[in-house]
Amino acid sequence: MKLRATHVLYAAALLGFVLLPQLITVKYYLHLSVLALVWVIAAQGQNLIQGYTGYVSIVQAGFMGIGAYSTTLMGIHFALPVWLTILLAPCVTALFALAAGYPSLRVKGHYFAIVTLAFNLVIFIVLMHATDLTQGEAGISGIPKPGREDGWFDFANRQVYYYFVLVIAVIMTGLAALIVRSRIGQTLIAIRQNETLVGAIGIAAWKYKLFAFVAAAMYAGLAGALYAHYQSFINPEIFGLAQSLDAILAVIIGGSGTILGPVIGAFVVVFLPEYLRFADSFRLILYGLLLVLATIFMPRGIVGVVGQLWARITGKAAS
Amino acid sequence: MTRHMKFTTLTAMLALAGGAVTAADKTLDIGVSDALTGGAAVYGLPQANAVQMAAEEINAAGGIKVGEDTYMLNVIAYDDKANPTEATNAVRKLIDRDGVKFILGFCCSGATGAVASFIANEDAVMLVGNAAERSITTREISNLVRTRPPADYTGAAAGTFVAQKGHKKVAVLGALDVGFYASYVDAFETELKKTGGEIITRESFGLKDRDMSPQLTKIRELQPDAILVVGYVEPAAFIYRQAIELGIDVPRYGFTSGSEEQFLRVATSEQMEGVWDLRPTELTLLSASDNGIAYHANYSEKFGIAPSPSSPYAYDQTYALKHALEAAGTVEDTAAVAAALREMPIPAEVVMQYLPVDGKMFDVNGQAYTSNGAFQWQSGNWVFVQDLPSDAAAYSAFLSTID
């Protein structure tokens, strides 16, 4: 295999992520990095349905909520080990996504977005009102970390949890890349470009769309499970519409339909609001303004801008 | 000695003296995590202001004497928007980056619960204010105390009061999604039932809802003896207003803790006339102690707006922390400070009317209790009418039985 510049870039990025905890002197930034890696997983899923298939889904945070609550409740009620509940959480989320996706994907464009938005609202309301199960707005606390106290790794240590989430984020990013390169991924891209044509050549587009939707939900479910065990606390507030919009923004800002884009975008949506705390009550106005400007002037996201710059430097067309 | 030499020597001595003062005065950073923006800012922002004001008062009075050192307080406040993730980020930032060991504020239960879930593992002390969810002080977190009593402590007292008024059929309209409002109503219902009363309907609204006509129309058809409104100030004010507009002519009870100014942004004084607020005996000018009157005046002058009734929970946190630091004799050993908080009597400077348990401000769970009061809107003001039955010791014992 020929070594390309992008491979070198990926290797450098990975090395950077591995070394990051050693370079960070303030643990607060390590905490934000863990959250950002969780969002990398959620955003990679969002990218499958939004970036590659061309369907904007506004339910990613809702699916994170299903993943977070399912891992927590399975642990509480069935005394299952944390490892197992983390693995089962995406499967539970997939069941909900199947049930929601089958009717939702009968509609296209804005209508699909509205249906998924409504589904996020339904998830939020159920999490809020099913207090016997979810404890409502008060939330569930004391969610255990993976592993045992006398185990090899202390997952209560943020650095250990960072590497744990990093490994999973890398695997899930790699899996997303494999999906995109596969025949399925190429079909998803074809659907984004011309769904009518895909149907005309005899491909059942709905099956591929449903696959992308369920896969995106599984990514979100996994992200939600990792979030729950990291924070040790969940309540419905964390899985509302605003967070689903963050997942969409992560994809748009990073670079929709690229593998690296959601990684960059996830770090932006986690770190940028924190860095803007100096602006006090103007923080969210500034955040919103920056996002509007970025969307207008960088429609292909940060990856797109960097690609164009690289093309100018090397004199080659941006891929 | 020439005049010039005398002047030089005097200047040098003053400089040395000044330097000595500067060297002895140290700065202690204290953090605030609270809702400074968004819907919950009606509670969070006044709390942050109250901490700032208390810190300035303490500094002006000479600071906090800890051993040989005197500390001046510096407040670092971050907005958590009452969101659990934001609150976690804000507190992580305070502890990890700013090196803060004492964190105050916390108006809202969801955000507070998130921080409470990890604070036991941190080298820090958490002082919770207005957040009323009961479970915050049932987790046996040794480095957490709370100045506001849980909602069901007040709900039970409110239920007894309404039952004593002879009401048998009470309609509830509340932000029942929110755990502590629901627990207030549950405790209210338990006491109401003891006298043969009942809650005939529980209608819910979202914290961002403003038109409650559908729920009120349904309630009107049920012909209740009274209605009970539990929720944030603004939606509650809309309910009181719309109840009058719909011709509902029954006593209106509530649990909101809003100031006169906050209610008058939405409803007129005529529409509010006769409304009851059954809540902890929080700051209301007509019922306030000397401390309360001074607090109200100073806050109003400093911030150009009247303080919200619940804001002194945060003001009192600051003075509780001051006394705990002085008693512990350290600003580094957070376990000692946390222990001192649990051992301290009620400080003289506090605004709220706390009921001591075993002579201490905080019980073994880290929970403080105020008396509960019945306040009524009369001619533009909340007027303290009477105390509600409040047994802090019994509730404290009950709290200790909850896992």
Cβ neighbours around B243 below 10 Å, total: 24
pTM value > 0.90: no
Residue of B nearest to A282 (CA): B37
Number of residues that make up chain A? 319
Helix (H/G/I), strand (E/B), else coil: A119: helix
Cα–Cα distance for residue pair B72/B347, rounded to 1 Å: 19
Torsion sign (Cα): A105, A106, A107, A108: positive
pLDDT of residue A1: 54
Judge whether B134 and B160 are in contact, CB under 8 Å.
no
Chain B residues whose C-beta sits inside 8 Å of any chain A C-beta: 36-37, 78-79, 82-85, 88-89, 92-93, 95-97, 109-110, 113-114, 116-118, 121, 133, 135, 139, 177-180, 182
Q: Helices B41-60 and B312-328 meet at what angle, rounded to 10?
A: 40
The torsion defined by the Cα of A16, A22, A23 and A24, in degrees rounded to 10, comes to: 110
Predicted pLDDT at A318:
55
| Record: contact B110-A142, CB cut-off 8 A | no
Q: Which residues on A lie below 8 Å from B180 (Cβ)?
A: 138
Cβ contact B333:B111 at 8 Å? no
| pLDDT tens, position by position, A58-82 | 999 999 999 999 999 999 999 999 9
Chain A partners within 8 Å of B135 (Cβ): 138, 141
B69 phi, psi to nearest 5 deg: -100, 155
User: CA B75, CA B27: separation in Å to the nearest integer?
Assistant: 10
Residue type at B387 in one-letter notation: D
According to DSSP, residue B59 is labeled H
Residues of A at the B interface, defined by Cβ within 8 angstroms: 26-29, 31-32, 35, 128-129, 131, 135-139, 141-143, 156, 231-235, 237-238, 274, 277, 280-281, 283-284
Give the separation between CA B144 and CA B109, rounded to whole angstroms.
Answer: 14
For residues B337 and A63, give the distance between their C-alpha atoms in angstroms, rounded to a whole number.
42
Closest-CA distance of chain A to residue B110, Å? 6
Two structure tokens written together for B47 = 């709390």
Pairing of strands B69-79, B64-66: antiparallel
Can you give the pLDDT at residue A61?
97
The residues, ordered by sequence, that sit 6+ positions from B231 with a Cβ below 8 Å of its Cβ are B174, B175, B178, B181, B205, B207, B239, B255, B256
In this prediction the ipTM stands at 0.80
Chain-centroid distance, C-alpha A7:
23
Q: What is the mean pLDDT of each run of 10 residues along chain B (403 residues)?
A: 46 44 75 91 94 97 93 95 92 95 94 93 95 89 95 93 95 88 93 95 88 95 96 93 95 90 93 94 70 92 91 96 96 97 96 93 95 93 88 91 81
* Dist. CA B191–CA B390, nearest whole Å: 13
Query: What pLDDT shows up at residue B390?
Result: 83
Q: What pLDDT, on a 0 to 100 scale, did the predictor assign at position B294? A: 92
Instruction: State the pLDDT at residue B37.
Output: 87
Bridge partner residues of B73 (DSSP): B28
Closest C-alpha to B89, from A201, A29, A101: A29
All structural domains of chain B, each given as residue ranges with its CATH number in brackets, are 11-150+290-371 (3.40.50.2300), 152-287+374-400 (3.40.50.2300)
- Disruptive mutation site among B76, B80, B83, B140 for chain A (greatest number of A CBs within 10 Å): B83
* Per-residue pLDDT at B339: 97
CB A288: neighbour CB atoms within 10 A? 10
Strand order in the sheet with B252-255: B198-204, B169-174, B226-230, B252-255, B276-280, B372-378, B381-388
What digits encode the pLDDT tens for the residues A107-146? Answer: 888 899 999 999 999 999 999 888 889 988 888 988 999 9
Rounded CA separation A118/A57 (Å): 11
A-B CB pairs within 8 A amount to: 94
A205-231 vs A60-78: helix axis angle to the nearest 10? Answer: 60
Residue B127 token pair: 């002082």
Q: What 8-state DSSP symbol labels residue A136? A: G
* Burial class (CB within 10 angstroms; exposed 0-12, middle 13-18, buried 19+) of B276: buried
Q: Write out pLDDT tens, residues A152-198.
A: 788 888 999 999 999 999 999 999 999 999 999 999 999 999 999 99
Place of tokens 């629901």: B182
Gap between the Cα atoms of A178 and A187, Å rounded: 13
Q: Which helix (H) or strand (E) holds B139?
A: none
Q: Which own/partner contact pairs does A202-210 have at CB distance under 8 Å and 24+ positions apart?
A: A206/A105, A206/A106, A208/A53, A208/A184, A209/A53, A209/A55, A209/A101, A209/A105, A210/A98, A210/A101, A210/A102, A210/A105
- Residue B211 corresponds to which tokens in the numbers above? 């038109």
DSSP letter, residue B77: E
Distance CA B368, CA B346 (A): 10
d(CA B372, CA B389): 7
pLDDT of res. B318: 97
Average pLDDT over residues A258-285: 85
Contact B238, B262 (CB under 8 A): no
Residue of A nearest to B141 (CA): A142
Are A170 and A20 in contact by the 8 Å Cβ rule? The answer is no
